[in-house]
């Protein structure tokens, strides 16, 4: 029932060589993270300092959200700024003042660096300090870089959270901190389970409001909910927190191990913890069983995108019987992914970074049953007869935890079912 297969190092991929190729990388830049971060931190505004390309990217990524005047915008650098004719700091001040006038409910402003602002070495951290002094205490101004030069896609969230860490209040008591953006509904489910297990002090980073950010200190133990938070983790450790090592809460096994690791770290007896998790785990197992038929034995290949590839692949292989052809990830954090790597089937082909042309060649040669890739590649591959699962849905949908395990499986099963359904 709730027996988890014992994890043996010999069976995993801790020592598996990883292919690294350098060529065109078909992934988003870190600015894209703003699209979900602004939904998460409900009184924050994200001001990108960049070019028209940045504005265009954000509106393309945000889709219909853009029309509701969301809490993000771009201050577009123009010729005069580049020619040094306009003082960039004066310009920024002017833009920010205008913004604050329109949106007085904003409590936190992020100045987000872009590729152009990096190249011309526009010092946004300085600007943030200055603006902070000017607008405090109603508004706090922070800065981070979401440029594609520095950050790949979900690393944008890492940069944002890492900018928050030094501002977190000092913790007075021991507590658990869950790190990484989760959908509200998932967060609430997790909070209920922690409470039921007896872990009372739980904070979530990022919190929903700027003033509610969780405290941190030497008594803080943090649990990563997402695998792309290297910088944030480092920041937390600098403030004395220690990491609870665990796989990521994807699928029944992963979620179970994640909660059990937290329980162990807080001295909760294993049988008590397990009894709290029993019902949801059983429910989830039953729910995903229906998707096994569509997925078992199917061969899947992951193109790099969000760094979620390895935990996803682990779940699909171990609980749904999929066969992993290649798991590509933009960056492989050896330490944070150690538990995941140990759980992967031995000999799984891993790749880090990307040369998209070479990877496409490998894909066509391997002829997988399903490819997980970005929307720039999905339709072209479908036209070649390859079934795809477009990866960004995995970042925007609630997929963590017991109650979402079946939804996650369904995201992969549906494209296969559809292909079988269509007679044209």
Partner 1 sequence: MQLALWTYEGPPHIGAMRVATAMRGVHYVLHAPQGDTYADLLFTMIERRDARPPVTYTTFQARDLGGDTAGLFKTAVADAYARFKPQAMLVGASCTAELIQDDPGGLALALGLPIPVVPLELPAYQRKENFGASETFYRLVRACVGPRTGTPAPASCNLLGPTALGFRHRDDVTEITRLLGELGLTVNVVAPLGASPADLACIPEAAFNIVLYPETALATATWLERQYGQKFVNIPPIGVGATRDFIAAVAALAGIDAAPFLAAQNARLPWYSRSIDSTYLTEKRVFVFGDATHAIALARVAAEELGYKIVGLGTYAREFAREVRAAAKLYDVEPLISDDYLEVEAAIKAANPALVLGTQMERHIAKRLGLPCAVISAPVHVQDFPARYSPFMGFEGANVLFDTLTHPLMMGLEEHLLGMFREDFEFSEAAAPSHLAATAPAASVVASAPVWDEQAERELRKIPFFVRGKARRNTERFAAEQSLSLIKLETLYDAKAYYSGDAA
Partner 2 sequence: MNHVVDTNKLADKLRGASCGTSCGDGEGSLQVALDPALQITGAKVFAVYGKGGIGKSTTSSNLSAAFAKIGKRVLQIGCDPKHDSTFTLTKRLVPTVIDALEAVDFHPEELRVEDFVYPGYGGVNCVEAGGPPAGTGCGGYVVGQTVKLLKEHHLLEDSDVVIFDVLGDVVCGGFAAPLQHAERALIVTANDFDSIFAMNRIVAAIAAKAKNYHVRLGGVIANRSAATDQLDKYNAATGLSTLARFPDLDIIRQSRLKKSVLFEMEDSPALRLVQQDYLTLAETLWAGVAPLAAVPLKDREIFDLLGFE
List contacts with partner 2 (CB under 8 A).
82-85, 88-89, 119-123
Residue 363 near which of partner 1, partner 2, none (CB within 5-8 Å, type-dependent): none
The two three-digit tokens of residue 23, written as one number: 């060529």
The SS3 call for residue 110 is: strand
Q: Is the distance from CB of 319 to CB of 252 less than 8 angstroms?
A: yes
By CB under 8 A, tell whether 98 contacts partner 1: yes
Q: Which is nearer to partner 1, 22 or 423 (CB)?
A: 22
Among 82, 234, 272, 296, binds partner 1 (CB under 8 A): 82
Residue 297 near which of partner 2, partner 1, none (CB within 5-8 Å, type-dependent): none
Cα–Cα distance, 4 to 281 (Å, whole number): 11
- Residue in 325, 324, 306 with CA at minimum distance from that of residue 315: 324
Scan residues 182-201 and list those touching partner 1 (CB under 8 A): 184-185, 188
The two three-digit tokens of residue 25, written as one number: 């990388």
Among 12, 13, 26, 320, binds partner 1 (CB under 8 A): 26
Tell me the window of 34-42, 252-260, 263-271, 402-410 that interacts with partner 1 (CB under 8 A). Answer: 402-410
Cα–Cα distance, 182 to 134 (Å, whole number): 33
For 141, list phi and psi in degrees, rounded to 5. -115, 125
By CB under 8 A, tell whether 51 contacts partner 1: yes
Residue 374 near which of partner 2, partner 1, none (CB within 5-8 Å, type-dependent): partner 1
Residue 56 near which of partner 1, partner 2, none (CB within 5-8 Å, type-dependent): partner 1
Cα–Cα distance, 321 to 272 (Å, whole number): 30
Shortest distance, CB of residue 30 to partner 1, whole angstroms?
8
Among 31, 213, 233, 395, binds partner 1 (CB under 8 A): 31
Torsion over CA: 268, 270, 274, 277 (sign)? positive
Among 21, 36, 42, 91, binds partner 1 (CB under 8 A): 91
Burial environment of residue 36 by CB neighbours within 10 A (0 to 12, 13 to 18, 19 or more): middle
Cα–Cα distance, 394 to 373 (Å, whole number): 11
Scan residues 101-160 and list those touching partner 1 (CB under 8 A): 115-116, 119-120, 147-150, 152
Q: Which is nearer to partner 1, 7 or 286 (CB)?
A: 286
The two three-digit tokens of residue 292, written as one number: 């096994």
Shortest distance, CB of residue 149 to partner 2, whole angstroms?
13
- Residue in 205, 190, 244 with CA at minimum distance from that of residue 221: 244
Q: Which is nearer to partner 1, 166 or 290 (CB)?
A: 290
Residue 84 near which of partner 1, partner 2, none (CB within 5-8 Å, type-dependent): partner 2
Scan residues 254-273 and list those touching partner 1 (CB under 8 A): none
Q: Which helix (H) or strand (E) holds 109?
A: strand 108-113
């Amino acid at each position: 029932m709730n027996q988890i297969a014992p994890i043996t190092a010999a069976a995993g991929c801790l020592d598996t060589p990883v292919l690294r190729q350098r060529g065109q990388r078909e992934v988003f830049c870190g600015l894209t993270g703003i699209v979900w971060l602004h939904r998460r931190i409900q009184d924050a505004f994200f001001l990108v300092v960049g070019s028209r390309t940045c504005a265009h990217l954000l509106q393309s990524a945000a889709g219909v959200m853009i029309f509701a005047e969301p809490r993000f915008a771009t201050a577009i650098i123009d010729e005069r700024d580049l020619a040094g004719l306009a003082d960039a700091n004066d310009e920024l001040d002017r833009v920010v003042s205008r913004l604050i006038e329109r949106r007085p409910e904003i409590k936190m402003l992020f100045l987000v660096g872009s590729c152009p602002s990096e190249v011309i070495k526009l010092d946004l951290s300085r600007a943030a300090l200055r603006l902070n002094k000017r607008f405090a205490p109603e508004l706090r101004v922070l800065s981070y870089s979401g440029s594609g030069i520095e950050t790949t896609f979900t690393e944008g969230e890492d940069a944002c959270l890492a900018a928050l860490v030094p501002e977190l209040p000092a913790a007075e008591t021991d507590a658990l901190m869950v790190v990484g953006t989760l959908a509200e509904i998932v967060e609430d489910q997790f909070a209920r389970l922690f409470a039921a297990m007896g872990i009372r002090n739980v904070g979530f980073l990022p919190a929903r409001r700027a003033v509610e950010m969780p405290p941190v200190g030497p008594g803080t133990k943090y649990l990563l909910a997402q695998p792309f938070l290297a910088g944030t983790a480092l920041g937390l450790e600098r403030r004395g927190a220690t990491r609870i090592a665990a796989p990521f809460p994807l699928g029944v096994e992963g979620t179970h191990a994640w909660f059990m690791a937290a329980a162990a770290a807080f001295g909760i007896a294993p049988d008590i913890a397990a009894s709290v998790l029993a019902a949801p785990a059983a429910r989830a197992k039953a729910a995903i069983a229906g998707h096994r038929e569509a997925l078992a034995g199917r061969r899947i290949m992951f193109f790099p995108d969000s760094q979620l590839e390895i935990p996803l692949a682990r779940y699909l292989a171990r609980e749904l019987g999929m066969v992993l052809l290649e798991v590509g990830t933009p960056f492989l954090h050896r330490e944070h992914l150690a538990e995941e790597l140990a759980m992967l089937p031995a000999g799984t082909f891993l790749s880090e970074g990307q040369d998209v042309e070479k990877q496409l060649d490998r894909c066509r040669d391997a002829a997988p049953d399903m490819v997980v890739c970005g929307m720039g590649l999905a339709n072209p591959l479908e036209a070649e007869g390859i079934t795809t699962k477009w990866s960004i849905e995995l970042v925007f949908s609630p997929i963590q935890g017991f109650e979402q395990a079946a939804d996650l499986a369904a995201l992969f099963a549906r494209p296969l079912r559809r292909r079988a359904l269509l007679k044209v």
